[in-house]
């Protein structure tokens, strides 16, 4: 080969080698991450706390269906504004889409307590491996409103639904959900406090 052509061939081959990368590759799992789903519902006598691992590639956190893997044996407690600590009881029978979930139920009746609108409640979750998650929230000073369903058939493509409710002090926003008679969620709207 002439010198220049040989040099070009070497350069091209080098570039070709440099260009070879692997598009898909396994990566190391990240550490265990605890996810806590919890809500305070003043309309319910049992408060729910779901504790699970996020999917991080860890063999212990392989998902079941859409969910992560639940964490059993956790210490779950809700602290009332008056300082009463209500402990959650693990429900080992709860299935969601065929997957066992680690749901903790906090029975208010067992402590003779009710959730007070305007009150600030604390949540503490401690897993068997020692990870601890804490949080707090203030219940808006509002009551649940469930309007009567319309008397006539309602089509969301055609009809307009007008709703009104009493504003709650301290509420950041409202969620309005419209369900069909069959229980199918048709629409969920989120409103900020001054846009109702």
Tell which one of 3, 43, 98, 130 touches other proteins (CB under 8 A).
Answer: 43
**To the nearest whole angstrom, how small is the minimum distance from the Cβ of residue 169 to other proteins?**
18
Burial status of residue 94 (CB atoms within 10 A of its CB: 0-12, 13-18, 19 or more): middle
- Binding-residue total with other proteins (CB under 8 A): 57
> Is residue 196 involved in binding other proteins (CB under 8 A)?
no
Secondary structure class of 17 (helix, strand, coil): helix
Query: Which residue, 6 or 161, has its beta carbon nearer to other proteins?
Result: 161
* Sign of the CA dihedral running 177, 178, 184, 188: negative
Which residues, at least 6 apart from 184, have a Cβ–Cβ distance to it below 8 Å?
none
Q: Is 66 in the site for other proteins (CB under 8 A)?
A: yes
Binding of residue 182 to other proteins (CB under 8 A): no
d(CA 53, CA 67): 9
**Of these, 58, 75, 91, 141, which contacts other proteins (CB under 8 A)?**
58
Terminal CA-to-CA distance of the chain, rounded, Å? 80
Q: Does 68 bind other proteins (CB under 8 A)?
A: yes
Q: Which residues contact 101 (CB under 8 A, 6 or more apart)?
A: 50, 52, 67, 70, 94, 95
How far is the C-alpha of 78 from the C-alpha of 134, rounded, in Å?
10
Give dist(CA 144, CA 76) in Å, integer. 26
Site membership for other proteins, residue 191 (CB under 8 A): yes
Residue 108 is a binding residue for other proteins (CB under 8 A): no
Interface with other proteins, residue 24, by CB under 8 A? yes
Q: Smallest distance, Å, CB 99 to other proteins? A: 11
Residue 23 makes contact with other proteins by CB under 8 A? yes
DSSP character string of 61-77: G--BTTB-EE--S-EEE
- Residue numbers 138-167 binding other proteins by CB under 8 A: 144, 156-157
Catalog residues that contact other proteins under the rule CB under 8 A. Answer: 12, 15-16, 18-21, 23-30, 33, 35, 37, 39, 41, 43-44, 46, 48, 50, 52, 54-59, 61-63, 66-68, 96-97, 103, 144, 156-157, 172-173, 176, 179, 183, 185, 187-192, 195
């Amino acid at each position: 080969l002439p010198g220049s052509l040989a040099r070009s061939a070497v350069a091209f081959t080098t570039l070709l080698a440099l260009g070879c990368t692997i598009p898909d590759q396994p990566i190391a799992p990240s550490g265990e991450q605890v996810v806590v789903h919890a809500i305070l519902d003043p309309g319910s006598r049992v408060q729910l706390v779901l504790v699970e691992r996020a999917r991080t590639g860890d063999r212990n956190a392989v998902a079941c269906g859409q969910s992560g893997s639940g964490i059993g044996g956790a210490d779950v407690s809700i602290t009332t504004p008056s300082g009463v600590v209500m402990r959650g009881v693990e429900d080992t029978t709860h299935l969601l889409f065929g997957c066992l979930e680690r749901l903790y139920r906090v029975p208010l009746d067992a402590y003779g307590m009710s959730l007070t609108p305007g009150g600030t409640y604390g949540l503490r979750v401690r897993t068997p491996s020692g990870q601890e998650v804490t949080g707090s929230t203030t219940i808006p000073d509002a009551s649940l409103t469930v309007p009567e369903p319309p008397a006539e058939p309602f089509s969301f493509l055609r009809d307009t639904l007008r709703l009104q409710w009493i504003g709650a002090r301290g509420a950041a926003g409202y969620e309005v959900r419209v369900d069909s008679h069959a229980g199918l969620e048709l629409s969920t709207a989120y409103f900020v406090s001054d846009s109702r």
